[in-house]
């Protein structure tokens, strides 16, 4: 049976080996991507195509295509409770005051701003 110091040494060696392997993986991935990019550029040039011809969505901002520029911004309220002044944007779950008003027979349009 190995003693504690031997096991610690083996662990350190494995961690170093894992770090070296991770670097090799990153280098191989980088090289593979560079080859694919070169191949794509070559095909585009060969056929006289542009990125626009591919129909790919690009934002030019580094954000994924399809993300909204308004993401995370506040939305103006669409409904107001005249009695209390409470508002609701119309997004998400209905507030309790809206639920209670609808249950009492009022329509959502009655609270439109």
* 10-41: pLDDT as tens digits: 999 999 999 999 999 999 999 999 999 999 99
Which residues 6+ apart lie within 8 Å of 67 measured at CB?
59
- pTM value? 0.42
- Tell me the CA distances in angstroms from 38 to 32, 41, 44, 51, one per residue in order: 10, 5, 10, 14
Alpha-carbon torsion (83, 85, 89, 94), positive or negative: negative
* Tens-place pLDDT, residues 44-68: 999 999 888 888 776 666 555 666 6
Class assignment of domain 79-111? few secondary structures
The structural domains of the chain, with segments of one domain joined by +, span 4-54, 79-111
What whole-number distance in Å separates Cα of residue 80 and Cα of residue 112? 6
Q: Which strand (E) or helix (H) includes residue 18? A: helix 4-47
């Amino acid at each position: 049976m190995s003693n504690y110091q031997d096991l610690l040494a083996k662990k350190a060696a494995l961690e170093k080996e894992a770090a070296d392997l991770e670097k090799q993986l990153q280098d191989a991935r980088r090289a593979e991507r560079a080859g694919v990019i070169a191949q794509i550029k070559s095909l585009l040039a060969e056929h006289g195509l542009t990125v626009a011809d591919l129909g790919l969505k690009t934002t030019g901002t580094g954000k994924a295509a399809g993300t909204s520029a308004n993401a995370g911004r506040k939305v103006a309220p669409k409904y107001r409770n005249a009695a209390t002044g409470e508002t609701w944007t119309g997004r998400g779950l209905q507030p309790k005051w809206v639920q209670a008003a609808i249950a009492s027979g009022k329509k959502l349009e009655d609270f439109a701003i």
